[in-house]
Amino acid sequence: MPFRDPRKYLYDIINCCEFLLDFTKSKTVEDYKNDRAFRSAVERELQIIGEAITQLDRVSPQIADKISEHRNIIGFRNVLVHGYDSLNPDTVWDVVENKLSELLSQAKNCLKQL
């Protein structure tokens, strides 16, 4: 198995967080609930974040441990992918509004340390 550079996954996390923070800036949970294309885009970016953290945890668990909720993010990714039919829109929107900024900050700090 070829070694993967943890910076790649940190860049992906940062890129998705920045995109989502900008993309959702003037939106509401009602927009998320009522606009399928918007909902799909948000969920896809969250899936990428979750998968990037999963891969980061595989190649560099000591770096993944510096992301405070990395285990919860991986679990959330699994719900997005496998439990889509039981996904609570308010939970997704809470992640967008209240978790992404901190994740972005932590990912940037990890990248600076490399």
- Compute and round to an integer the Cα radius of gyration of the chain: 14
**Does the structure show a pLDDT above 60 at 94?**
yes
Tens of pLDDT along 11-54? 999 999 999 999 999 999 999 999 999 999 999 999 999 999 99
| Predicted structure pTM score | 0.95
The full set of domain ranges for the chain reads 6-113
Non-local (6+) Cβ contacts of 99 within 8 A are: 69
Instruction: Give the per-residue pLDDT at 41.
Output: 98
